[in-house]
Structure 1
């Protein structure tokens, strides 16, 4: 998301609001005045007011700038490619610094800064001893102090107001191209507050506060260079070259010279059939020489057979047979072979670097195979056949076995599992090991690992429903005639009240026969009061009531004890002195059903089988094999034997072609006019032939140097340096040649991996733009469609970018960008050349990149002294040039 900027003309402390007059003291300071009032807090109305006069520091009070005061300078110190059309500037850490010591009052939006940035050549600006600098008249004339208010401003972020303030000081001077410059920050006022120089001054020497140097590039900038780009339709020679093939003398005109397309070829171009005369002649030359008298140890040298390094009979492979009749393919393969000869040391060194890892890989594989053999022997001879006893053997290793949700030990013993982790420890193995000291008094089978696992895997038994000494709900249920008293007590606990009906049932069931009539009458009176309290929702001494109604031993209370208990129930007490948790306590004591304890036993048989499968060294493909082989790259599905070298080199072949035979990358590229853009396509046939010749040469060179290479290797499979998603390597342009179908021709889609399938659209530009701005952003963006056709007048959605899949340069001024896009669809896209990110910049003059409405600040500077107005008008927006794809693609709309 782009940052939205806002500019302000100046910013400084509100203390200046106390300055009533612009008059200066002899020291060049402004004077402020504020009223000061003293009040007696002990005596109301007793006050005294006086005006306090104070001086504000001016430029004469500044001895220098701290290094931290300067936040950033543009162009960067030592830069050699500064644009001559942009303003040099300096940014400060403090938003108010440019105006903090100005001995002037603001006039609306205009306030001159107390320091200025002066830029000139080293001859115009010369540092002097004592921390001063001499500035010539020419440099002073380009920095008229009357215009200084427009040279400074404050920048704010619209989306974060007040949080990212930056003060900036500009130099308005247009810079000379290809010239060294020196920039200095100096005071704009003398110590007594006068301007540091006047118009027409022959030169001054002032205090030097900060300086740096830079050099500009040749005249011109990104907008100037990019605006020159124009579409180019190409010509008959671009991407093509005639191949001279001398035939034996014959009457009549010879066949037309075959046309060879380069690595980049015109859109919709194809290779026409080779003339029969040329094909027959080449086939005669390419046929192997058979001389019965020749010594088999000294074979006759003939033309290379492209393909014999990968197939037993090259004549059966169509792609190999093409080299016997088509000199164009043989010429391109010869370019690859020549590059292999020229770069043999570089390529072989890269292959040897990979070969150096073979020793470590071989040692790792040998250790793996030895370990598998030893483990297999132990597995078959020593491992228990019973699966649970086998699981105990594997127990100490469960902690190191990883699953997607944790270790096997965690999953088998964590959470609701009844198995304790310690049962799989080495200590448990030692305890269960048979021995006289450990197992002498143990019962038979008590130390059997299988039995121990099975017992440990059981859920714990719940506590008894009738603990000793506690009343039990089942007994109460029998007494009161309630089938499920547990539910009744739960309901009571939920409401906080004793069910009156149940209590009345207990009272009614009380055995009155052992007692006298007076005692029974007293019982009835007390129980009636108890029931009345319960109905009113008031607490009762429930345990005392139950002691009367249901004695613990089941025998009726003696009459005297009953009378004592009844009198205790009649004693009145405050509600809060009764048993507050009476009902809850009753539920806890009476409800003794099984607690809710989650328990999830392990399926021991299934666990034992899964663990055994994971570590079984006798399996067809043990898991450990993948664990080890994943640490070794480049094995290409080789068997579990010491690996052979199969190099996979990250060397893009187009660079070899560019370095040794650049004319073949895009034939005729040098004839392209400057500042032109053309669309071409990748030539899959050229890529196949070139890489085939290159790999044929390199395989022979590796074997010549006694570097063992796996049969059928294709060391170089990259041509265009397509960046891989990881950004650290390149994607292949071809499969290994041994995978090419015998019935496929050169350029067949079966030779390409999915990431490189099909021909790509390539945009080629010849312009000095990329020499000056190598980080220019190039991309495609689709044009909006109207009725199924591109609407070039509608604004494109620049967020739908197609970035290049590969790019490179033929010369410093001829660059290309490849896109993973069907070339036929290129006519529906814009080709965008966008200025690289450079931060904030300002034009130093009425540049053509500015709209006419924004150039007015340069016409009469004295009418536009507002620093914010100048910054807003001179701001250099990021620049982009867009070329219609229809102007580059033949037949596109």
Structure 2
């Protein structure tokens, strides 16, 4: 859990040379000594120390030079870049801004509002400084905007109507209060200390985005009004410069506006516009004012049902009449009902029961007319003439496809089907589901056909499977089934590695038996073909075994499978392994020779041979002759042993000549020394571009050989060892292997594995998956797939479009700005869902969709897409699949009876749709009496303290529903259980400033964090509201006034900052 965000406000911020201005800000008051005040621009005195050094005596001379530097001020600014502004509140063209809040503009650069102010901070220890900009907010009839007559291409000109000046402008002496710096993190040091300034500088250098500067307008806005905000100069020099007038004789600190104090006043009304935007206020206020309007309510039985007339249903039942029924009207419920609400009992008497029985006969008539054994039928039912052979169309028996019933009143029918069809209230509800399907049949079918695309492709595979199976079965019966074991083994040899028998593959079983693997190979089949000359000759010899004549190409596998101890005239065995020739060289002999060579290579002489060649390659790479001493040293480092070093030194001393070419270096050594080290067989050794040779003798030809290194010999030994290991692994003569005990069963397994109906079913079934039991499962192809389409959107929305009274009966009578708690009406929801699924089943059949009409196409009533819970069960559909319904209507929900629904009606969630709504456990402050919230932000993920909505719904225009997995009784609590609060919390992050709006009069404020607009009324104790905030009119207690008199812009920002608001109401206030 992240920490709570903390902010810090600064009254002003300056960087750079402007920090050196010495003339203090008079805060709009007339100057005491005007002649001592700067005109047009602020200035600073700069003194430079010039130093020179005498050439004659080197003496140092210092001479100060004083200058007055004039700084850029408001009179030098002709426009502002739009990039300097990062945000406006409200945004441009917003139409529902809170009338009790202040508009403002933000700048990216933290010092921007005070950068060109021509003064230093003054008053209250330097904690007040006026910005050089002013934000005005005006209604459309309070101003005009025109082009600058002197410079049409310059800044536009704002002209305020003189009669509106005092209403739209705040006192010019208070402009210091409406600009501040906002840090998005807390500051640890105290304002005004050196450590504070250092911390601010360090924070901004580390993260330039950690703060912004802000300019507010304290205008009191009116609801449902259009306004336009203007950013204009706050100093007269800036105003005149923007209007293309000369400000050179104007005091730099002169403000650009004043309120009129009398008829003779003639203060300016024209201002150049740096930036502007427009917006409109809404009818309602901010989050706090709207939240405080919400009141908890307990709803009565009126909101559980609406009266429904059942006396004229048609189909011949109108004759019963209202006078003959105990219940001529019944209460039709909705998806929600008051907690504990019980529907009217029905039937109440014999006439009501007759009504139900007659309804059952009407619903059963179609089935009864098909029964040839029926002797007494209510036919004609509602006609006085014979119907002949015309079909009779009767009302639906809802749910008959899913429950597999044919008529009502039959023993064994599920209770829910009887209740659904014979209770007029539930039949009407199911009819609503049928109406939804009829109205949206095209879009539902379009979605269904998109889903059936995969089903059609799968069924096409199954049809192709059936064709392939028939063809392959014919081939199998003709070509495979008649084969003997011998031919079967030969023909099926390629598949033996993939066919299992007795827990291992056929290939492995043959390999472990007396039957040679080669006996079933393609080469063997070719060798024993009956048409070959040698095979014909052998067959004519008439070999016999056990009295039967044997042909060589027949029963070969069986003959290999005869055990050695079994008597038989004709046995086949594999050829014995070959014996190595007498003169063959054994691998061991070669390995010993190589090992000896490796050992020889490590003698002093062999080390010297390679060391000298390597040293020559290194030292002569630049084709320069190395001195003998260096050559000896290099070789000594390579050979290390004293014997080798002595031998190498003697060899080096015998070098006679060097010769260089572009590709190699030739070094000549005396013949006897060369022969001593390198032997007599070669006249030279070559390695890495170095040729070391000796002079040739008489009649001797040059024999140059490469110098084989020790690494090469060792590598050769490794390769030889690997080869020897492979040779040693070759199989030798082993003991006799066992036979395959039951060769007939062995072959029968192969025949079975080759059957087309088995192989093709497995192959096709592995490519088709259907969704079942919350996962994709492979099918067993036994017939066409009847997978049904699923519509996962919440269907309460369709019911709401018919009438929101079907969600909450008489919902228009729910009081405005109210909170209440209801619970789901499971029987109503299930009846509606049953009607949806029944009518969809009929529609699918009519459209020739592949269906058995038993699919649960609609199972989701509520909207759960915004459910943030991690518990998967709370995201499930609302009802079980209809074929699995076993209880009565209202007992087949996947959601337990623990669900309650918080109903909120009012403007709060319309204006603040991102409001966080949750339930929070209560705890006792005073046992049995006073409760408060339990848990902290660290417990947000603990359902014992916090619960979040699992369902959401909206009823236009202003009713919001939030469902919680919380039993109503637990939420209400009791004498020992404090119960639960329901909380509405403003989402943090939105920065706003303003004052509360309250009715009537207010008492002097003691807490500056809870000021209202009424605390600034011109006449304290009245209900008047000031049009533009004047800090001097605050109605405060003496203690609060002391703090108020010394405040700065940062203090005021903290008092006016609108903290996120949270409203908590206990469930007992909303449950009877």
CA deviation after TM superposition for structure 1 residue 885, in Å? 2.1
Q: Which residue of 1 aligns with 2:890?
A: 747
Q: What SS does structure 1 have at the residue aligned with 2:821?
A: strand
Would you say the 8 A contact 1:719–1:732 is kept in 2? yes
CA deviation after TM superposition for structure 1 residue 468, in Å? 4.3
Q: What SS does structure 1 have at the residue aligned with 2:444?
A: helix
- The size of the alignment, in residue pairs, is 706
Q: 1:546 to 1:851 in 2, by over 3 A?
A: farther
Q: Which residue of 1 aligns with 2:288?
A: 223
Q: Which residue of 2 aligns with 1:826?
A: 971
Would you say the 8 A contact 2:452–2:789 is kept in 1? no
Q: Which residue of 2 aligns with 1:237?
A: 302
CA deviation after TM superposition for structure 1 residue 842, in Å? 0.3
In structure 2, stretches of 5+ residues that fail to align are 25-34, 149-155, 188-202, 238-246, 261-265, 312-318, 370-376, 381-385, 481-486, 500-525, 527-587, 604-639, 649-672, 678-709, 726-752, 973-978, 1017-1029, 1033-1044
Equivalent of residue 713 in structure 1, options 855, 864, 874: 855
Q: 1:303 to 1:364 in 2, by over 3 A?
A: closer
Deviates more, 1:92-101 or 1:846-855: 846-855
CA deviation after TM superposition for structure 1 residue 673, in Å? 2.5
CA deviation after TM superposition for structure 1 residue 148, in Å? 0.7
Equivalent of residue 198 in structure 1, options 258, 278, 295: 258
CA deviation after TM superposition for structure 1 residue 151, in Å? 0.6
Structure 2: how far apart are the matches of 1:179 and 1:596? 98
TM-score under structure 2 length normalisation: 0.58
CA deviation after TM superposition for structure 1 residue 165, in Å? 1.1
Q: Which residue of 1 aligns with 2:50?
A: 38
Structure 2: how far apart are the matches of 1:88 and 1:888? 38
Q: What SS does structure 1 have at the residue aligned with 2:355?
A: helix
Q: Deviations over 1:676-703 (max 9, x none)?
A: 2111111111111111123323333444
Would you say the 8 A contact 1:25–1:31 is kept in 2? no
> Where do 1:174-573 residues align within 5 Å?
174-191=220-237, 192=247, 193=252, 194-200=254-260, 204-246=269-311, 248=320, 254=326, 258-271=330-343, 273-274=345-346, 275-277=348-350, 278-287=352-361, 288-289=364-365, 290=369, 298-313=390-405, 315=410, 316-341=413-438, 343=439, 346-359=440-453, 362-363=456-457, 366=460, 370=464, 467-470=594-597, 541=642
Would you say the 8 A contact 2:767–2:778 is kept in 1? no
Would you say the 8 A contact 1:243–1:257 is kept in 2? yes
Equivalent of residue 23 in structure 2, options 21, 24, 35: 21
Q: 1:332 to 1:197 in 2, by over 3 A?
A: same
Would you say the 8 A contact 2:917–2:984 is kept in 1? yes
In structure 1, stretches of 5+ residues that fail to align are 395-433, 435-460, 477-538, 548-560, 566-584, 600-612
Q: Which residue of 2 aligns with 1:111?
A: 129
Structure 2: how far apart are the matches of 1:388 and 1:806? 62
Q: What SS does structure 2 have at the residue aligned with 1:334?
A: helix
Would you say the 8 A contact 2:841–2:854 is kept in 1? no
Q: 1:621 to 1:66 in 2, by over 3 A?
A: farther
Q: Which residue of 2 aligns with 1:648?
A: 790
Q: Which residue of 1 aligns with 2:961?
A: 816
Deviates more, 1:66-75 or 1:707-716: 707-716
Structure 1: how far apart are the matches of 2:493 and 2:990? 70
Pick 1 or 2: higher relative contact order, CA cutoff 8 A, min separation 6: 1
CA deviation after TM superposition for structure 1 residue 319, in Å? 0.9
Structure 1: how far apart are the matches of 2:967 and 2:775? 32
Q: Which residue of 1 aligns with 2:157?
A: 132
Structure 1: how far apart are the matches of 2:1011 and 2:16? 32
TM-score under structure 1 length normalisation: 0.68
Structure 1: how far apart are the matches of 2:721 and 2:169? 90
Would you say the 8 A contact 2:399–2:835 is kept in 1? no
Q: Which residue of 2 aligns with 1:879?
A: 1061
Q: What SS does structure 2 have at the residue aligned with 1:886?
A: helix
Would you say the 8 A contact 1:677–1:765 is kept in 2? yes
Would you say the 8 A contact 1:75–1:82 is kept in 2? yes
Structure 2: how far apart are the matches of 1:736 and 1:596? 71
Would you say the 8 A contact 1:721–1:730 is kept in 2? no
Q: Which residue of 2 aligns with 1:578?
A: none
Would you say the 8 A contact 1:80–1:216 is kept in 2? yes
Q: 1:726 to 1:820 in 2, by over 3 A?
A: closer
Q: Which residue of 2 aligns with 1:510?
A: none
Structure 1: how far apart are the matches of 2:800 and 2:462? 45
Structure 2: how far apart are the matches of 1:384 and 1:242? 82
CA deviation after TM superposition for structure 1 residue 88, in Å? 0.3
Q: 1:235 to 1:268 in 2, by over 3 A?
A: closer
Q: Which residue of 2 aligns with 1:50?
A: 65
1:145 equivalent in alignment to 2:172: yes
Structure 2: how far apart are the matches of 1:257 and 1:17? 85
Q: Deviations over 1:306-352 (max 9, x none)?
A: 122223325422211113442222232233333444x2xx3432322
> Where do 1:69-108 residues align within 5 Å?
69-107=84-122, 108=126
Q: Which residue of 1 aligns with 2:833?
A: 691
Would you say the 8 A contact 2:128–2:1048 is kept in 1? yes
Deviates more, 1:231-240 or 1:323-332: 323-332
Q: 1:763 to 1:151 in 2, by over 3 A?
A: same
CA deviation after TM superposition for structure 1 residue 665, in Å? 1.4
Structure 1: how far apart are the matches of 2:462 and 2:326? 66
Q: 1:679 to 1:812 in 2, by over 3 A?
A: same
Equivalent of residue 121 in structure 1, options 132, 139, 142: 139
Would you say the 8 A contact 2:158–2:270 is kept in 1? yes
Would you say the 8 A contact 1:735–1:752 is kept in 2? yes
Q: What SS does structure 1 have at the residue aligned with 2:910?
A: helix
Structure 2: how far apart are the matches of 1:815 and 1:878? 21
Structure 2: how far apart are the matches of 1:333 and 1:283? 19
